[in-house]
Amino acid sequence: MNGAGQARRKFPAITLALAAALAMSGACAQKQAKEITVSAAASLKNAFTEIGEIYEKQTGVRLNFNFAASGILQQQIEAGAPADVFACASRKQMDDVQKKGLLLGETRRDFTGNSLVLITPADSRLDIRSFQDLSAAGVERIAIGNPKTVPAGQYARESLTALELWDKLQSRFIPAENVRQVLDYVSRAEVEAGLVYASDAAIAEGRVRVAAEAPKGSHEAIVYPIAVLKDSADSAAAIKFIELTQSETGQAILARYGFTKPYS
């Protein structure tokens, strides 16, 4: 089987019949939107911006991106903020939105994955090589995403709890509104360490150093789901964006930015 066939097998395309049916739903006379909004996790910003450029050239539809912490995006969607596609960094946020009947459930896919890493400023003189080293006397500030709204923070809490470090380090945590803010804190050496995704560390090469990866099994698998929202202005155009993220082209771009195949 060739590469394209393998990609189709691993990431099943949304059927044309479904796309046609969705396009006909709602107002029958609805015209194709000239713009759709993609609300996506902050960690996807670089990869989605590049994928978006290809999408716009292929379809002529303009993409409006709304990047933020997945929990913040969930709150916006539940409050009625207009959006066509939701892509988040945890199944939890997508599950919650789906339970409230806000998704076109047939369009939901797990399209990429990630890993959690411990980073330090590139020029740090501290010898931090493991999560246990965060307990060292010289480590006074550790940036993590707010676990209430930031999936990276949720994964960080799970991992540190499994390693019996969460309670010990509570006084050292510097909460951030999203994972990119954690990355900024570390790259500017405003903190001694931080917990981000491998994809975030990859775009800051030369400014941060990866000290360690979270031990396998210390947190839930990091999987990114994506879906069309029920009130999408143009569900057919939204589906095309999801299909592009699952295509060989989309997957290659995601891999280049440090993302992985979604875990089964």
List, for residues 75-123, the tens digit of each pLDDT value: 999 999 999 999 999 999 999 999 999 999 899 999 999 999 999 999 9
**Domains: count for the chain:** 2
Q: How far apart (Å, rounded) are the C-alpha atoms in residues 39 and 32?
A: 19
Whether 16 and 93 map to the same domain: the answer is yes
Is the per-residue pLDDT at 8 higher than 50? no
Query: What 8-state DSSP symbol labels residue 260?
Result: B
Dihedral sign computed on CA atoms, order 52, 54, 55, 60: positive
Q: 27 pLDDT band (50/70/90 cuts)? A: very low
Q: 32 pLDDT band (50/70/90 cuts)? A: low
Does 262 map to a domain? no
Whether 16 and 76 map to the same domain: the answer is yes
Is the per-residue pLDDT at 262 higher than 90? no
CATH number of residue 134's parent domain: 3.40.190.10
Does 173 map to a domain? yes
Q: How far apart (Å, rounded) are the C-alpha atoms in residues 201 and 187?
A: 10
Share of the chain above pLDDT 90, in %: 85
Whether 9 and 100 map to the same domain: the answer is yes
Residue 180 buriedness (CB in 10 A; 0-12 / 13-18 / 19+): buried
Is the per-residue pLDDT at 37 higher than 80? yes
Strands (E), the chain: 35-41, 62-68, 85-87, 109-113, 116-121, 142-145, 173-176, 193-197, 208-213, 223-228
pLDDT at 5: 45
Does 167 map to a domain? yes
Whether 37 and 64 map to the same domain: the answer is yes
pTM here is: 0.84
160 CB-near residues (< 8 Å, 6+ apart): 131, 166, 169
| Residue range of the domain that includes 60 | 3-113+223-256
Is the per-residue pLDDT at 264 higher than 50? no
Whether 134 and 90 map to the same domain: the answer is no
Q: How far apart (Å, rounded) are the C-alpha atoms in residues 199 and 116?
A: 9
Whether 29 and 87 map to the same domain: the answer is yes
Does 74 map to a domain? yes
Whether 109 and 122 map to the same domain: the answer is no
Whether 35 and 102 map to the same domain: the answer is yes
Does 218 map to a domain? no
pLDDT at 91: 95
Whether 105 and 16 map to the same domain: the answer is yes
> Between residues 5 and 57, which one has the greater pLDDT?
57
Whether 95 and 157 map to the same domain: the answer is no
List, for residues 188-227, the tens digit of each pLDDT value: 999 999 999 999 999 999 999 999 999 999 999 999 999 9
Does 233 map to a domain? yes
pLDDT, average across residues 125-145: 96
Does 263 map to a domain? no
| Among the listed residues 66, 89, 76, the one whose alpha carbon sits nearest the alpha carbon of residue 179 | 89
Is the per-residue pLDDT at 23 higher than 70? no
List, for residues 149-193, the tens digit of each pLDDT value: 999 999 999 999 999 999 999 999 999 999 999 999 999 999 999
pLDDT at 105: 81
pLDDT at 180: 97
